[in-house]
Amino acid sequence: MSNRELIVLGSASQVPTRHRNHNAYFLRWDEEGILFDPGEGTQRQMTHAGLSARQVTRICITHFHGDHALGLPGIIQRLSLDSAPHPVEIYYPASGQAFYERLRHATVFMDKATIVPRPIAKDGVLAETKGFKLSAARLEHSVDTFGFRLEEHARVQLIPARLAEHGLSGPRVGELQRRGMVEVGGHIVRLEEVGEKREGQSFAFIMDTRPCANAGRLAEGVDLLVCESTYLDSEREEAHGHFHMTARQAAELAHAAKAQRLVLTHFSQRYEDTAPFVQEAQALVQDVVAVRDLDHVEVPKRARAE
């Protein structure tokens, strides 16, 4: 099982259908579990997916339309019920503070979990850990909406042939990684001499928006792009009027950004078959997945240097 994967808990726009739940997406990223846009029914979908509330470390809300946030009260209350041992940060548009408060305290419950509100007022970095940076940028929707980008820090990847050239092996390699340099035979060997800078993996979540510059910035070079594709391109005019995208526009975004794998989701209830979405997108992007509820989509791995 991959340590970095997207688990789709819901893939319908506006209303759930017989086959698709309201939006909800869980990103497993090493020790982090980031829940995006928990719509109605998310708690039950997590049970079907074998996920527990205790695995959630952060929650990201793009905007406060119901299909992207009505599952938040249940998740928050479940965090308390299951005695989540860690703080859970919730990121959401600052202009929706009143909606956040209503959802946060929707009913009476034993409020024991540590919930940390992180309202977003402007584009920029939301959180930075030793392993990654989480940022947000405003999108173009009918209400304040933010997309998200998670980016692993760049690191130096050691090249085995170069290590051998300098006589480095075993514990000395670990020392080099810790200190950035090590003495070998009276000479100093620096980390950059035996390795190459390697950009980390990245992920973008772009939901409920028209095509816009910030969507491109969030998607730039990502390994996995989750993008709304509410309509087929025959409804491009309707998509524009409703502040949404078509599968073709999602593919145009992914192609321009050089995203590696495109996940199409947030389908209008008028469509039962998503094969045309894939066909439309694959005219521009080879690696396309039109997801179903409970699908697992791996974050593509990058080739290692020899």
- Using alpha carbons only, what angle is made at residue 143 by residues 88 and 230, rounded to the nearest 5 degrees? 90
* Catalytic residue list contains 295: no
242-247, long-range: CB < 8 A, 24+ apart: 242/142, 243/140, 243/141, 243/142, 243/208, 243/209, 243/210, 244/13, 244/208, 244/209, 244/210, 245/209, 245/210, 245/211, 246/280, 247/276, 247/277, 247/278, 247/280, 247/281, 247/290
CB burial of 188-216 (b: ≥16 within 10 Å; e: otherwise) equals ebebeebbeebeebbbbbbbbbbbbebbb
- Among residues 67, 208, 223, 293, the one annotated as catalytic is 67
Alpha helices in the chain (DSSP H): 42-48, 72-81, 97-104, 160-165, 171-179, 213-219, 236-241, 247-257, 275-281
Residue 23 and residue 209: Cα distance in Å, rounded? 15
Residue 14 and residue 10: Cα distance in Å, rounded? 11
Cβ atoms of 57 and 32 closer than 8 Å = yes
Cβ atoms of 37 and 69 closer than 8 Å = yes
Cβ atoms of 182 and 172 closer than 8 Å = yes
As annotated, the active-site residues are: 67
